[in-house]
Structure 1
């Protein structure tokens, strides 16, 4: 009876979403509760097949979906220490590197394994917690999709497809959410509805949905988008009954696509600018060329914080572009013969870098000419990544930016600058991702191999005219050449614009004034400890948000290492502090 009364009066927390970020939040919560000698009721809601992974790292996805961060960089997923909580012991769990016995010297090529490998690690890490807490009445996992959240009598009511539950606090870590279809996709949807012979995939994932067309013959498939998801789509569709890739040079990852029999498959990708992804450097040694010094990163952080954490008004993002241009200029000068030869001073280089950061159409002999053919651009960037030709300034900018991103994300999140400046900073970071989030060299060699095999067609890559016909999507390029596709795959990932998210949970939270956007084009407004800022004249809601939906309040929400970062630790400490205050 005493224990039942204890349970009734115990604070209840629901964690909605158990991907990598939810997993680390749970670990940090348990650790903070243990340190404070507190016990609460914890409910975890997740509808996926493998808790801990989310959809991105789902362990059942095919091996053709590769991770996009070097396995070397996953050193950031550290060991979980032993936790004693509510008379139970959660044993320590190894770091990712120890778990897979990762070992690599600095001259060996970086590895980019299948995403399901990291998924297996994340799921095993979650399971080790669930097994340790399975006897507790105060910990429950619910495999259910949350449809709605209501604030009732100072309690939060969670409504799922299987029932309802009340709690005191909620942590939302739900990752990517679908948004309202663009006008173009809506038109395509309507067109396909009246033409049964045509197929539209509104999203690229889960990639296994494409199994129905994977081995079709005599087929033209359009792919909207020329980014990382396009590569997943391309690889899944071409590793099939008709052919596969073969690396013919282990030093350069030069690849051919061999056909075991004829398929007559054409893949036609296109995007607004037609610019290709840029591969990451070959190995740690080459990557070290672009590494800022600790002093440079410390100064970079201080200069951003001097503006972002103050109340001073600013109408430019010079506080970001000027200090990073200074770092890039130093790095490019230090490249010497590994960069394109020039006789420019540091300040002259900085001016060119700033021009390019402010205008993506800016041209200069040190910058790759975007008027080159897509094939030639990819070849050039591959050779730069290998270190076999002089590096262009734009390649250097992208790699230095990648090394500066963690510092930028930490220094600029929960900034005090106005929302339009926040949007500009995010837009520039997004633009950098063609370089900073670039794929492995082998992926881009596969792109070239498919072009050589006359499967991947790059003739329509830059913003083609698209006419809808009874036969499908007819693409026309600037030379008036046309091709018609009976299948179209949208591989463009929605940005997290809160006002365009169309999942019932988020729409209801907005309608009930429990959340608000930080900017019309961005995500949920939150405090530094991740709790939502409710509209004026509305009661504060005990809801915290970590991850993609908080984009704007925080930046860098898409990186796996950010899922195991200080923001999650800050939330856990803040939650326990609130417990102690009540």
Structure 2
């Protein structure tokens, strides 16, 4: 009997899920018969909306090419059909970035280029099954899933009603309900022809078109993270402006206006703190790699705390162990770091204090510049190896290097949802350093500021009032009026906040449940939702970012091709074989 598997969402995770199924089937003699139905609303399965191959070339990846080691797909035979292999990303797009000199500045590809690769990889897979019933692609949006008997029925916008034996949700970013401030602004612009509010930063094309149509536009950007940087680049370079080399330092830039960019761009956030750029190249980045003994101690200490009954020490132990490694690296930097006569144990305590509370006063070793522009410039110089490194910058880079171990340790291992919420919140806070943008992105930000286009004086939690003519932002005696407001804060991974029809239905009917108000859906190591897999109901698995809580680290492109999809595929085959017998 053929078992039908439904995959909702086919970006990188959906692609990886189909590949993992193929590998699992090919590795088993007498594998049970499966029919896989993929639902992807975009016309580019494999890439999905985040890696849309047609998106703006100003949207860059946040991973250097030398680190983008997506694995090749091995050739396999599935039910007698030859499925070709496919190269890894670096081999597919050109010369291997790992062969560059460690002193060469890291290169960051566009998301569109990665999307072209992912879509081509999916097409090569789908083409192999063109004459087979194994893989069916639906360019459609799933809006409902209903439990019927021992199975499920998938319902789509186009009217498809497909019974399936198993379902996997591989969808990425999902829309969430706007908060009170954003909801008020969206209501306020309804029907207005003088000012406009964009609830999402992507796609950026409608935003750029709105600026083109609005003479002398003033634009406010709500949020001060990676998406803000994408929008900023699109509103400058994307509208014909140019960044050219400056003599100030090797990486510095000057902005040459096109006349099409906004009159003023005003970013703002609650804390006004900028992201710290990644180290410029491999040689500088390697300075922050923990020694093997320190990395092993970190893993052992956190593992021991996780193994204790109640896991009461996990949060404190993670902070203590991370702080110890960071202090060791900071001491090893020598004169590359801010000078300090304090012992390693004192520096470790300062790191731990900072992880517990970033507002802990320690101006001796924590970067607190007198202005946002100065702080960005200081961070850029650290990232380029041109200035001694502050303790917080060092801590953030060490966190980045220990993140893979941290994600492996915590995923599926934390029993208490409140504890997991604390750990996820800490990891999200450290992304300001660990997931910072390339140096050249922050140099662009500085160039726009120096050109008088990017205003950083209102960045920290300004008072905002709305009128018929737009928004007035005020802070420390400064005031600016803008007619375009863009929300660049990305949607939460808390499934309770999601407002897409599919997830609202599944939550309301109890097919999936949040593990915590601030987290995603609880899943098992084989990705199936709930406490335990039941033989009485059709399994529902979660491979997307809405599994944050059982998993830690859900937004990385590398996570889309790790062993999570393999474990899910093994579970599908195991359940199919059980039912066959």
Task: State the TM-score, normalized to the length of structure 2.
Answer: 0.95
> Quick check: 2:218–2:482 contact (8 Å CA) kept in 1?
yes
Instruction: Please say if 1:530 is aligned against 2:527.
Output: yes
Stretch deviating more after TM superposition (11-20 or 540-549): 540-549
Aligned with 2:54 (options 41, 60, 81): 60
Answering whether residue 187 of structure 2 is matched by residue 190 of structure 1, we say yes
1-structure distance, mates of 2:86, 2:533 = 44
Point out where structure 2 has 5 or more consecutive residues left out of the alignment.
none
Q: 2:13 aligns with which of 7, 21, 29?
A: 21
Aligned counterpart for 1:414 among listed residues 406, 412, 415: 412
Matched-pair contact (CA < 8 Å) for 1:64–1:114: yes
2:84 paired residue among 79, 83, 91 = 91
- The structure-2 alpha-carbon separation of the partners of 1:247 and 1:57, relative to structure 1 and needing over 3 Å to count, comes to farther
Q: State the alpha-carbon separation in 2 of the partners of residues 97 and 246 from structure 1.
A: 28
Q: In 2, Cα distance between the equivalents of 1:148 and 1:83?
A: 34
Aligned to 1:575: 572
Distance 2:9 2:453 in 1: 39
Question: Which structure 1 segments of 5+ residues have no match?
Answer: 1-8
CA offsets 1:328-377 (integer angstroms, 9 cap, x no match): 11111100011111122121111110000001101224434435200000
Deviation at 1:443, TM superposition (A): 0.3
Distance 1:209 1:373 in 2: 32
Q: Say whether the 8 Å CA contact 2:239–2:261 is kept in structure 1.
A: no
- Residue 313 to residue 223, structure 1, CA distance change in 2 (3 Å): same
Deviation at 1:194, TM superposition (A): 5.3
Q: Secondary structure at the match of 2:246?
A: strand
Q: Retained in 2: the 8 A contact 1:63–1:116? A: yes
Counterpart of 2:510 in structure 1 is: 513
Distance 1:249 1:131, change over 3 A: farther
1:181 paired to 2:175: no
- Cα distance change of structure 1 residues 449 and 513 upon mapping to structure 2, 3 Å threshold: same
The two structures, once aligned, show a CA RMSD in angstroms of 1.9
Q: Distance in 2 between matches of 1:42 and 1:107?
A: 47
Equivalent position to 1:472, from 470, 473, 477: 470
Q: Distance in 2 between matches of 1:297 and 1:60?
A: 41
Q: Residues of 1 paired with 2:299 and 2:211: CA distance?
A: 48
Distance 1:531 1:429, change over 3 A: same
The answer to whether the aligner puts 1:73 opposite 2:71 as a matched pair is no
Q: Is the 8 A contact 1:217 1:263 kept in 2?
A: no
What is the match of residue 5 of structure 1? none
Aligned 8 A contact 2:367 2:392 in 1 = no
- 1:454 is paired with a residue whose SS is coil
Separation in structure 1 between the aligned mates of residue 28 and residue 541 of structure 2, nearest angstrom: 20
Selected match of 1:107 from 88, 103, 114: 103
Residue 303 of structure 1 deviates from its aligned partner by: 2.4
Aligned residue for 1:317, secondary structure, equals helix
User: 1:366·1:393 contact (CA, 8 Å) conserved in 2?
Assistant: no
Q: Residue 150 of structure 2 corresponds to which residue in structure 1?
A: 154
Count of aligned residue pairs for this structure pair? 572
Is 1:219 paired with 2:217? yes
Question: What is the Cα deviation at residue 106 of structure 1?
Answer: 1.2
The aligned runs of 1:108-507 (5 Å cut-off) are 108-162=104-158, 163-193=160-190, 195-215=192-212, 216-240=214-238, 243-248=241-246, 252-261=250-259, 265-314=263-312, 317-370=315-368, 372-477=370-475, 479-507=476-504
**CA–CA distance in 1 between the matches of 2:371 and 2:536?**
57
Q: Secondary structure at the match of 2:235?
A: helix
For the residues of structure 2 that align with 1:99 and 1:67, how far apart are their CA atoms? Answer: 16
1:515 and 1:534 in contact (8 A); partners too = no
| Alpha-carbon distance between aligned partners in 2 of 1:357 and 1:175, rounded to the nearest angstrom | 29
Counterpart Cα distance in 1 of 2:54 and 2:545: 23
CA-CA distance at 1:538 after TM superposition: 12
Cα separation, partners in 2 of 1:176 and 1:393, compared to 1, 3 Å: same
The range that moved more, 411-420 or 65-74, is 411-420
Give the Cα separation in 2 of the matches to 1:178 and 1:511. Answer: 17
Shift of 1:240: 4.8
Q: What is the CA–CA distance in structure 1 between the aligned matches of 2:340 and 2:432, rounded to whole Å? A: 25
Q: Do 2:302 and 2:314's aligned partners in 1 also have CA atoms closer than 8 Å?
A: no
State the secondary structure of the residue aligned to 2:347: helix
Cα shift at 1:153: 1.2
Q: Find the counterpart in structure 2 of residue 44 from structure 1.
A: 38
Q: Which residue number in structure 2 is paired with residue 4 of structure 1? A: none
Q: Deviations over 1:355-408 (max 9, x none)?
A: 000011012244344352000000000000000110000000000000111111
Question: Alpha carbons of 1:262 and 1:324: their partners in 2 closer, same or farther (altered >3 Å)?
Answer: closer
CA contact (8 A) 1:267 1:455 kept: yes
- SS of residue paired to 2:287: helix
